[in-house]
Structure 1
Amino acid sequence: MSKKSAPIPIHSLGTAQSDIHLRPLRDYAAPRPSLESAHSDSYYIFIFQQTGESRLMVDFATVTLNGSCIYFIAPGQVHHFISSNDTSGWILAAEPLSIDKNYLDILEREYGQQKPVETDQSGYNKFEGYLKSLFNLLSENTVGSLQASLLFHSVSVCAGLFTSILPNAEDHRLPSRQVYLFQQFQVLLRKHFRNEKRPSGYADLLHVSPSYLNECVKTTSGRPVSYWIQQQAVLEAKRLLAYSRLAVKEIAYQLGYADDTYFMRLFKKSTGISPATFRKHTANSPAFT
């Protein structure tokens, strides 16, 4: 399977209820060539696995789902199924606008570090019941404002069930000012990293001074603002190196670096290997072929 010459595809939902999609997990996990199926989405994916084992690649980390558990994939994360063995369950896709803001705040906190979470019998029964009800509701194919409202709230309830058992959901305290600014910085970074490389640019967007933003980010994460800007660019570079045939110079340009030599130095400093070596490694890895 040859790599695509275009950048990684971004999928959007295209069902009759344009911001909701639900189907059995076994359909989604059906074997497909990984390079053909690797993509990112404009929406959240919530996975409720009831039985079996699934292995996914999510932004270059292998994620294994064993038995009854939940997992979510955030918008923008590049992913594909590596393998699936006797799995059953459900996969729910929902645009962020369909999810209550309180739940979105928790999901944002988990971005990039989410882990599978086991479900006990009580959780299993709740997920199964709510998702089956939502599936039946979607199957009715009726149109109207009341139906749309019912679907919207049903999806939000399901999203709430997922977030309620995530590690960060147990802490109901409002985040400190420093944590809040770090979270908002991360959201803005994912939107603007191609065009904005200056820490002061993010400080302006957040209406704080560069020194205060740097203090908040460093206190919360242990790293300065400049580190996270570089890491976001390197992550996107990895995605393009692994899943496209764009030349390194083209990738550097897409990521906002006019000097591809500087970009290559930055990539090697961050990863320990050159972009070409990284591409070769992924091309020869069973998880990518």
Structure 2
Amino acid sequence: MKKVAILNIGQFPRQSSLDGFYANTLQDHLITSHKDIVLPHSHNFYLAILFTHGSGIHEVDFSVYEVAPGSLFFLNPGQTHHWELSADVKGFVFFHTQDFYDLQYTQATINRFPFFYSMHNLPLLQLEGNDFKNITSLFEQVYNENLDEKILKRQKVLSLINLVYIEGTRLYLQNNTSGQVNQNGYYLKFRQLEQLIESNYKTEKSAAAYAAMLHISPKHLNRITQAVAGKTATDVIQDRVLLEARKELVLQKKNFNEIAYMLGYEDYAYFSRLFKKKTGETPSAFLNRYSKT
């Protein structure tokens, strides 16, 4: 079995004339496009998955979520995921590039939706009743419209997926505080912090250094990260480092000593202790859980 790291949207069969977009039933997707992928992997596109039947687990960035009818997942580009599903699983899936969405909605980028704000936000909505019925209908329309070649097809598909995101946002904010955080301005600073961490986490681990980059005090930075993610700034930085370490272990099969050095830790023993403290297991124990082919 070839180990898969990052999947490009171009690797999936095009079912229509739309460039940068894919839609399918979940059961067909698992048979035709996902059958050889058995280990955690990531994508370079935005992903929405709705489960209408079946059960199992869906692991996103190494956190495990239960799958049941009504489970709706939204994943950012770069997030790692893996699942183990029952044989009777059914549902719908669509994904698209950032350009596919943002070029249509030039005044409102896709990152404004709370489940796409940050990788620290929960990727799961559990739908029930009419909410489940209504969003299932939207996914069905996306799937059917993608199969047809009617006039204004691109515009209708974009309108439908936008409705999925709008309805998902309304439901998401009923149980999460992301909208309130966004309104008081903390979200913008947190996004800036995440962008700085993404560019510098291999060489800079100090919360005070990131606070200086943002022209705020370390105390205020911690206030922001606690409000948005429920974590200290140091935790947010270390989470990004440890996520990369786990990705490298599973996807690239690098030696852990090499991974530690690549991430800016010359003391392998210290990084190994940090890994165990943050993840609850040693690097070797973690890797053993994904060693099957």
Would you say same fold, with TM above 0.5?
A: yes
Identity of aligned pairs, percent? 24
SS at match of 1:250: helix
Deviations, residues 242-276 of structure 1 (Å, cap 9, x unaligned): 33321112212332334434422332333354323
RCO (CA 8 Å, sep 6+): is it higher in 1 or 2? Answer: 1
Relative to 1, partners in 2 of residues 1:278 and 1:133: Cα closer, same or farther, differing over 3 Å? Answer: closer
Query: What whole-Å deviation, never above 9, does each CA across 1:117-172 have from its counterpart, x for those lacking one?
Result: 1231x2233223322332233223479xx544443333222222323322457765
> What are the superposed Cα offsets for residues 82-118 of structure 1, whole Å, 9 maximum, x if unpaired?
1233122211113344165476341145734333412
Tell me how far 1:47 sits from its aligned partner: 1.4
Contact (CA 8 Å) 1:45, 1:94: kept in 2 or not? yes
| SS across alignment from 1:197 | coil
Give the total of aligned pairs.
277
Correspondence for 1:203 = 211
SS in 1 for 2:23: strand
CA–CA distance in 2 between the matches of 1:159 and 1:222? 24
Tell which deviates more after alignment, 149-158 or 39-48: 149-158
Distance 2:66 2:19 in 1: 30
Aligned equivalent of 1:94, options 72, 86, 96 = 96
- TM-score in terms of structure 2 length: 0.77
Contact kept? 1:29, 1:81, Cα under 8 Å:
no
Taking a change above 3 Å as real, the CA distance of residues 246 and 91 of structure 1, as seen in their structure-2 partners, is same
- Name the structure 2 match of 1:182: 190
Partner of 2:128: 119
Code of the residue aligned with 2:30 in structure 1: it is: A
**Which runs of no fewer than 5 residues in structure 1 stay unpaired?**
none
Choose from 159, 162, 167 the match for 2:168: 162
Tell me if the contact between 1:54 and 1:83 (Cα under 8 Å) persists in the aligned partners.
yes
- In structure 2, the CA distance between the partners of 1:154 and 1:191, relative to structure 1 (3 Å rule), is farther
Counterparts of 2:248 and 2:46, CA distance in 1: 21
What's the secondary structure of 1:82's corresponding residue?
Answer: strand
Q: Which runs of 4+ in 1 moved over 6 A?
A: none
- Report the equivalent of 1:193: 201
Residue 13 (1) aligns with residue 36 (2): no
Partner of 2:284: 276
What does residue 57 of structure 2 align with? 55
Match of 2:89, SS state, is: strand
Say which of 244, 247, 268 aligns to 1:260: 268
Distance 1:263 1:170 in 2: 33
Distance 2:212 2:23 in 1: 40
220-229 vs 242-251, which moves further? 220-229
| Structure 1 residues 167 and 86: alpha-carbon distance in aligned structure 2, compared to 1, 3 A threshold | farther
Q: Aligned with 1:256: secondary structure?
A: coil
Q: Deviations over 1:5-64 (max 9, x none)?
A: xxx6222322453332110011233474654x5311122221122222243222223322
Alignment of structure 1 residues 125-144 onto 2, 5 Å:
125-141=133-149
Indicate how the Cα distance of structure 1 residues 253 and 32 shifts in structure 2: closer, same or farther if over 3 A, else same: farther
The structure 1 residue matched to 2:253, chosen from 235, 242, 245, is 245
Query: Helix, strand or coil for the counterpart of 1:85?
Result: coil
Whole-Å separation in 1 of the counterparts to 2:288 and 2:176: 42
Per-residue CA deviations over 1:208-231 (Å, capped at 9, x if unaligned) read 344432343246555431222112
Tell me the SS of whatever aligns to 1:157. Answer: helix
Q: State the TM-score, normalized to the length of structure 1.
A: 0.78
CA separation in 1, counterparts of 2:64 and 2:288?
Answer: 18
What's the C-alpha RMSD, in Å, of the aligned pairs? 3.3
Partner of 1:225: 233
CA distance in 1, matches of 2:186, 2:262: 31
SS in 2 for 1:111: coil
**Structure 1 residue 198: deviation in Å?**
3.1
